[in-house]
């Protein structure tokens, strides 16, 4: 029998490896940025076209590569970061895997330009689908430039699974922010379709955070610093009052590498215990430095999860450091770039003492004494104060009897008096007594609405019922494009991160169909000038926080699924909450609107809105 096991060709093996290494354009961005950082670059540019589908280019001014290295870096398991297996436990670099460039070259058109500082000429290499097209010397500046074009050109199935450009760009921004925050000493810039998205000059940790997330991030940060034999912790956490519902501003960096750790996140949440609302997530940007031999970063393909030798001690130290900073943030000086100098004390008044007002008290004044029992001193004082005035008692003293004098002489004929008939307007909910008894509603524990029906009673969950009513209303407005808007007297400006603004741009058309009016959408803020008629100005920030939280994991390309998600999120946010008192007419209106819906039986989240109990069911409860 012939052998059925054989070695795969290199280009096939590279394509299989690419399925693990390169999942989307953001994976290419991560690998190329990390290589540029390892090349000791001080200036890194990221250029994106069509959310990375057409072009991902990274240009750095690092040490560059020789002719041999430039060709060898595209081979499998080729790396300059490790030599022995023991090196995996003492890593100080990022891209040590040795499969990234080979995998990227197998599924895209790659163009590499690199030159070392001491060399006169650089190397220009073109690869298409693992095939070397050309390699020739070229006049180049110091550093390396990688251009990855037409990603997944030879794997159309993988290309079809990519999301919309807005979603893919959001993933690219995530990877860019993680590398940029970990290395504030490097100048980063990012361009998408010719427009600048980020311009981050080299700075300290705090200024890099403020530059990345813009808005009013500076006033939200509280410094954290702790040094022990196990770990050195520094960074910033957010004040509890600025906590959001999404986790977009939570970053752990271990030895300048971004990681995800549910265990360390639990330590942060334990430190915030009692300070956050339900469902709120604090912001944190924490940099942990630990000995490389105490961690294992080779346990996950994307290297975003690591294993610590002493997790319990690290948990306790991190929790204590955050709790200590939270206890001091009220007195800690925070640099405020937006301080208003008009509130400062004027220079000419800084050295002057305050002048206190003088108070004079009449110690002889008695509010309970009448004029006849005044003391002699009071009488003398009264004489002195009234000596210049004369008072004469009037001759005529009116009394209440005089008001009725001559009333009998008036001839009053009651038959001639006419009264205006008061028109009785019919009530909106006017019903007969019998009908009123059958349609009357009752609220129980400010949570359920009970209404009698012919066969028994119906018990309605007021929150779920209102969600269903709002959901169908919002979905109808977005589908038919007939929503009404109300203009704001003063446009409202809301601040968001760049990633959140990109998400708002993706759902902008759906929000406009719903009744929102946007004057401008900038890199770090949006200006809202109109709202749907059912939404108040105080609810805008809450609505956008919930929308961003629900869309954090991305939405589908289908416009209907996007509208459906928006309608669900807004219905959940604006629905009447449990514990809210409803008047009888509000209860009746909610019941009528619920049963006018297309699907009144379930909420938008497929949970029952009401239950019915027949008279027979009630009778069974009382049988012995």
Note the pLDDT of residue 113: 94
Low-confidence ranges of the chain (pLDDT < 50): 96, 331-335, 383-392, 426-430, 432-438, 555-558
Domains of the chain: 10-200 (3.30.565.10), 210-328 (3.30.230.10), 442-612 (3.30.1370.100)
Tokens at 429, concatenated: 């909910």
Contacts of 499 (CB under 8 A, 6+ apart): 170, 173, 174, 177, 248
CA distance linking residue 417 with residue 415, whole number of Å: 6
Interatomic CA distance for residues 476 and 301, integer angstroms: 44
Report residue 308 CA to chain centroid gap: 30
Q: Which residues pair with 160 in a beta bridge?
A: none
Q: What is the pLDDT of residues 377-426, one digit of tens each?
A: 555 555 444 444 444 455 555 566 666 666 666 555 555 656 555 555 54
Pairs from 102-105 (Cβ < 8 Å, separation ≥ 24): 102/14, 102/17, 102/74, 102/75, 102/76, 102/78, 102/130, 103/14, 103/15, 103/17, 103/18, 103/20, 103/21, 103/22, 104/18, 104/21, 104/22, 104/28, 104/31, 104/148, 105/14, 105/74, 105/129, 105/130
At 401 the pLDDT is: 65
CA pair distance 410, 613, nearest whole angstrom: 70
For residues 276 and 282, give the distance between their C-alpha atoms in angstroms, rounded to a whole number.
Answer: 8
C-alpha span between 491 and 519 (Å, rounded): 8
CA distance 142 to 292: 31
Distances (CA, A) of 587 to 470, 525, 533, 581: 15, 39, 21, 9
**Triad 128, 132, 135: Cα angle to 5°:** 120
Predicted pLDDT of residue 233: 93
Strands 187-192 and 43-49 come out as parallel
DSSP-derived secondary structure letter, 354: P
Residues 442-446: contacts with CB within 8 Å, 24+ apart? 442/587, 443/581, 443/582, 443/587, 446/578, 446/579, 446/580, 446/581, 446/582
Give the residue from 469, 484, 491 showing the smallest Cα distance to 532: 484
Total residues belonging to the chain: 624
Residue 245 and residue 545 in contact, taking contact as beta carbons nearer than 8 Å: yes
Q: Are 220 and 212 in contact (CB under 8 A)?
A: no
Here the tokens at position 395 are 């001759």
pLDDT at residue number 244: 83
SS3 label, residue 43? strand
User: What is the value of pTM for the model shown?
Assistant: 0.69
Helix (H, G, I), strand (E, B) or coil at 579: coil
Q: What is the pLDDT of residue 495?
A: 84
Distance CA 372, CA 396 (A): 23
What's residue 557's pLDDT? 45
Q: What share of the chain is helix, strand, coil (3-state, %, to 5)?
A: 40, 20, 40
Pairing assessment for the beta strands 143-149 and 610-614 based on DSSP bridges: unpaired
Whole-number Å distance between alpha carbons of 523 and 215: 10
């Amino acid at each position: 029998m012939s052998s059925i096991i054989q070695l795969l060709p290199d280009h096939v093996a590279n394509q299989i490896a690419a399925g693990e290494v390169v999942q989307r354009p953001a994976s290419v961005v991560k690998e190329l940025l990390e290589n540029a950082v390892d090349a000791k670059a001080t200036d890194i540019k990221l250029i994106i076209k069509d959310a990375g589908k057409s072009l991902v280019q990274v240009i750095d001014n690092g040490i560059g590569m020789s002719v041999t290295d430039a060709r060898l870096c595209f081979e499998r398991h080729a790396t300059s970061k490790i030599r022995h297996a023991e090196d995996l436990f003492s890593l100080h670099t990022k891209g040590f895997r040795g499969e990234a460039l080979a995998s990227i070259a197998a599924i895209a058109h790659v163009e590499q330009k690199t030159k070392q500082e001491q060399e006169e000429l650089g190397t220009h290499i073109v690869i298409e689908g693992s095939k070397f097209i050309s390699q020739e010397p070229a006049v180049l500046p110091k550093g390396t430039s990688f251009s990855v074009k037409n990603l997944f050109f030879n794997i159309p199935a993988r290309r079809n699974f990519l999301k919309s450009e807005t979603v893919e760009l959001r993933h690219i921004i995530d990877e860019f922010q993680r590398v940029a925050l970990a290395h504030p000493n490097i100048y980063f810039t990012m361009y998408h379709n010719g427009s600048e998205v980020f311009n981050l000059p080299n700075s300290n940790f705090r200024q890099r955070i403020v530059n990345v997330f813009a808005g009013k991030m500076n006033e939200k940060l509280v410094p954290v610093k702790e040094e022990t034999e196990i770990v050195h912790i520094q960074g910033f956490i957010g004040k509890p009052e600025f906590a959001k519902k999404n986790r977009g501003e939570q970053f752990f960096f271990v030895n300048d590498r971004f990681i995800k750790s549910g265990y360390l996140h639990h330590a942060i949440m334990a430190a915030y215990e009692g300070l956050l609302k339900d469902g709120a997530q604090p912001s944190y940007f924490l940099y942990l430095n630990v000995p490389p031999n105490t961690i294992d970063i080779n346990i996950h393909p994307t290297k975003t999860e690591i294993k610590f030798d002493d997790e319990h001690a690290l948990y306790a130290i991190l929790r204590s450091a955050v709790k200590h900073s939270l206890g001091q943030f009220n007195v800690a000086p925070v640099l405020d770039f937006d301080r208003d100098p008009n509130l400062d004390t004027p220079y000419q008044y800084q050295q002057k003492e305050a002048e206190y007002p003088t108070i004079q008290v009449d110690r002889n004044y008695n509010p309970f004494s009448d004029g006849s029992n005044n003391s002699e001193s009071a009488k003398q004082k009264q004489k002195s104060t009234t000596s210049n005035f004369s008072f004469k008692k009037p001759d005529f003293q009116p009394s209440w009897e005089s008001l009725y004098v001559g009333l009998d002489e008036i001839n009053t004929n009651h038959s001639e008096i006419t009264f205006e008939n008061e028109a009785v307007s019919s009530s909106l909910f006017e019903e007969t007594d019998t009908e009123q008894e059958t349609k009357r509603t009752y609220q129980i524990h400010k949570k359920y609405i009970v209404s009698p029906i012919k066969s028994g009673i119906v018990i309605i969950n007021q929150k779920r019922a209102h969600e269903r009513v709002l959901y169908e209303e919002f979905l109808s407005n977005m589908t038919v494009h007939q929503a009404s808007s109300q203009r704001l007297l003063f446009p409202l400006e809301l601040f968001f991160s760049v990633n959140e603004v990109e998400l708002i741009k993706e759902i902008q058309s759906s929000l406009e169909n719903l009744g929102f009016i946007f004057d401008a959408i900038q890199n770090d803020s949006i200006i809202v000038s109109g709202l749907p008629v059912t939404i108040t100005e105080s609810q805008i920030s809450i609505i956008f926080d919930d929308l961003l939280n629900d869309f954090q994991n991305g939405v589908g390309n289908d416009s209907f699924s996007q509208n459906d998600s928006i309608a669900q999120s807004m219905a959940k946010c604006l629905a009447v909450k449990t514990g809210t008192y409803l008047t009888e007419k509000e209860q009746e209106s909610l019941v009528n609107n619920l049963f006018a819906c297309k699907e009144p039986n379930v909420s938008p989240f497929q949970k029952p809105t009401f239950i019915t109990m027949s008279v027979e069911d009630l009778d069974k409860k009382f049988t012995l």
